[in-house]
């Protein structure tokens, strides 16, 4: 027998096993995995870069050019978002899913589905809808990688934005519901309205608790705005007091000169009577500052259409009032519209009047004596700016000013939210779908019922059998000729479904009435006076009974809050060329109302 000695030991990488494999093989597989992983991840990340995304002409020529210069490309802080920031999820699982789905784009490139501008334009709504739906399903997670509700501070947002973000957190809205077209062309107006309503509906799963930091910031900015408003009001009153003192001093000098001539003569102002509310203490009446702004052609149909008005959904679906979003931005809105802009396509004023002011700051005082209610409206005259589309420049030469007040009745759709806006329609005079005298005359029965000749006055939608809001397939907005029966309209009047309307003219005459199927003047008592003072301030005072029982008059009762609206036609204006308030609350002896009618 031959002794071969002890067995020769194998190398360590051959003697030990892991998962049934020599450790050397395991190490090799591990190293290969690292190399593969690194290479795969590097390649995938390379496809997330801006140069890669715009390397094909379809992206570089069509999409990238729209993106350049937007807030996501360049902004004041120097931070820019690239394609993948918005279109590729950050987490691994969803990123891989997105990449697999994106592989279909290679086939689209090979087959030339969007190789020309015409092909791309025909396809882009479909492509946009895919992205909208993807972002909706993820609660806009790509947006929230950079933008977080937790970090939003209302102090640095516009009033409309702060309110909409608050609504979003409470109702379950997500970023893409409102923010379409901020990096590329906005295609929202090409999409079907029903599709958008479904897509943009709140999702209860997205409801989140409003951060305390947000509420604290909101409280701070609202307090600061209230402080600024009070300071501005005090400064305005001080300036007016100086002006009145100067005017009174001039009057005193004039009276001293002519005092001898006036001796023995009857004081004409006394002979004319004590005036409306002469026995009242206006100093004890509440005083409310109001901003009346220029609305242009922003009809009730316009504000309900999401393709024209970004606040349509909060208004029609969320129950927000006009003041919810716009109360603090009336100056900006009025000035933009009066200059020929406004709306998503600057469509709200096609015939601007050079020099016309965008807003009228006014003061309203209201009081009652238990039997009658009294209102005093004051504002500064704006001078004359001729309307270029009217011969002589004055639309209503007989009235330098007109004042209207509406009180919202019951049963009016969105009446408390919009106030008198419910009476303003796209087919009224000087509005986009104004039918014109010929069309009105051709519809003799309706014209007779409306007592209309050349124009259609304001009306309530309830007085029509149908209203066209969206303008689908070229349909004419409004519903002037879709009349309810006379019996139905009479029932609405009995039920209180109308707008109580009081009007005062430049000479102090007045008209009491209501708005339902048209503007109607009733037999209700009303007294008024109007004057332009030497200080350049208009003062319009009017009164009526609190408990008037005239058809179309709404009795004003303690314990109830009413939605009202005011309009001023200044500078010989008529029709839509007025200034208006948003929905305003009014109540008797209630300090919580915007207009507190104080008893005395």
Using one digit for the tens of pLDDT, what is the confidence trace for 385-427? 999 999 999 999 999 999 999 999 999 999 999 999 999 999 9
- CB-CB contact of 297 with 350 (8 Å): yes
Instruction: Output the CATH code of domain 268-599.
Output: 2.60.40.1190
SS3 187: coil
**Beta bridge pairs of residue 544:** 373
Residue 9 confidence (pLDDT) above 70: no
Q: Does the pTM exceed 0.85?
A: no
List Cα–Cα distances, 59 to 50, 87, 116, 186, 209, in angstroms.
Answer: 10, 13, 11, 17, 39
- pLDDT band at residue 148 using 50, 70 and 90 as cut-offs: confident
Query: Can you give the pLDDT at residue 272?
Result: 39
Give dist(CA 447, CA 445) in Å, integer: 5
Query: Can you give the pLDDT at residue 264?
Result: 46
Decide the pairing of beta strands 561-569 and 579-580: antiparallel
Q: Which stretches of 247-329 are assigned E, i.e. beta strand?
A: 286-293
- CB-CB contact of 413 with 315 (8 Å): no
DSSP 37-49: HHHHHHHHHHTTS
Query: Can you give the pLDDT at residue 184?
Result: 87
- CB-CB contact of 574 with 583 (8 Å): no
Query: Can you give the pLDDT at residue 99?
Result: 77
Query: Can you give the pLDDT at residue 268?
Result: 41
Q: Between these two residues, 235 and 18, which has the higher pLDDT value?
A: 235
Query: Can you give the pLDDT at residue 75?
Result: 78
588: DSSP letter: E
- CA neighbours closer than 13 Å in the CB half-sphere of residue 593: 23
Query: Can you give the pLDDT at residue 28?
Result: 65
Residues above pLDDT 90, as percent of the chain = 54
- Mean pLDDT, all residues of the chain: 86
DSSP 463-485: GBS--B-S-GGGPPSB-TT-BPP
Residue 20 confidence (pLDDT) above 80: no
Using one digit for the tens of pLDDT, what is the confidence trace for 497-523? 999 999 999 999 999 999 999 999 987
Query: Can you give the pLDDT at residue 560?
Result: 96
- Tokens found for residue 386: 């001729």
Using one digit for the tens of pLDDT, what is the confidence trace for 582-594? 999 999 999 999 9
Residue 202 confidence (pLDDT) above 50: yes
């Amino acid at each position: 027998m031959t002794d071969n000695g002890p067995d020769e030991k194998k190398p360590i990488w051959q003697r030990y096993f892991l998962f049934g494999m020599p450790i050397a093989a395991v190490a090799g597989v591990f190293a290969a995995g690292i190399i593969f992983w690194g290479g795969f991840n590097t390649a995938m990340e390379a496809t997330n870069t801006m140069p890669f995304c715009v390397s094909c002409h379809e992206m570089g020529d069509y999409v990238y050019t729209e993106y350049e210069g937007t807030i996501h490309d360049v902004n004041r802080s120097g931070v820019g978002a690239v394609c993948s920031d918005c279109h590729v999820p950050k987490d691994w699982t969803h990123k891989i899913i997105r990449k697999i789905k994106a592989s279909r784009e290679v086939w689209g490139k090979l087959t030339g589905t969007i190789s020309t501008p015409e092909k791309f334009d025909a396809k882009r709504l479909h492509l946009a809808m895919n992205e909208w739906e993807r972002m909706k399903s993820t609660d806009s997670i790509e947006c929230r990688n950079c933008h977080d509700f937790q970090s939003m501070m209302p102090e640095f947002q516009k009033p409309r934005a702060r309110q909409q973000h608050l609504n979003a957190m409470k109702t379950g809205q997500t970023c893409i519901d409102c923010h379409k077209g901020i990096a590329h062309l906005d295609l929202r107006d090409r999409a079907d309205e029903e599709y958008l309503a479904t897509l943009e509906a709140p999702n209860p799963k997205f409801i989140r608790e409003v951060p305390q930091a947000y509420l604290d910031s909101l409280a701070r900015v609202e307090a600061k705005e209230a402080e600024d408003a009070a300071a501005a009001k005090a400064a305005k009153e001080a300036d007016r007091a100086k002006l009145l003192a100067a005017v009174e001093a001039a009057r005193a000098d004039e009276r001293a000169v002519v005092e001898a001539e006036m001796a023995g003569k009857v004081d004409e102002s006394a002979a004319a009577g004590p005036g409306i509310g002469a026995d009242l203490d206006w100093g004890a009446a509440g005083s409310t500052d109001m901003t009346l702004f220029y609305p242009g052609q922003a009809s009730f149909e316009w504000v309900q259409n999401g393709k024209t008005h970004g606040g349509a959904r909060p208004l029609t679906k969320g129950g927000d009032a006009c003041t919810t979003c716009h109360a603090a931005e009336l100056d900006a809105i009025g000035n933009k519209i009066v200059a020929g802009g406004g709306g998503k396509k600057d469509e709200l004023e096609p015939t601007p009047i050079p020099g016309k002011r965008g807003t009228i700051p006014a003061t309203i005082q209201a009081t009652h004596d238990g039997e009658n209610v009294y209102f005093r409206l004051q504002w500064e005259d704006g001078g004359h700016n001729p309307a270029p589309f009217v011969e002589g420049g004055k639309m209503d030469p007989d009235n330098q000013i007109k004042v209207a007040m509406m009180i919202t009745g019951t049963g009016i759709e969105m009446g408390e939210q919009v106030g008198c806006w419910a009476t303003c329609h796209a087919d009224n005079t000087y509005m986009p779908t104004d039918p014109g005298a010929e069309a009105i005359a051709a519809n003799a029965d309706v014209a007779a019922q409306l007592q209309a000749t050349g124009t259609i006055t304001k009306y309530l939608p309830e007085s029509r059998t149908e209203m066209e809001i969206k303008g689908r397939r070229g349909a004419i907005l409004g519903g002037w000729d879709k009349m309810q029966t006379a019996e139905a309209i009479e029932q609405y009047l009995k039920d209180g479904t109308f707008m109580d309307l009081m009007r005062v003219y430049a000479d102090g005459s007045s008209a009491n009435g209501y708005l339902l199927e048209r503007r109607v003047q009733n037999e209700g008592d009303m007294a008024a006076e109007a004057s332009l003072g030497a200080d350049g301030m208009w003062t319009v005072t009017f009164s009526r009974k609190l408990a008037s029982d005239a058809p179309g008059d709404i009795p004003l009762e303690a314990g109830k809050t009413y939605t009202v609206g005011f309009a001023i036609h200044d500078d010989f204006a008529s029709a839509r060329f007025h200034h208006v308030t948003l929905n305003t609350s009014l109540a008797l002896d209630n300090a919580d109302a915007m207009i507190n009618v104080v008893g005395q």
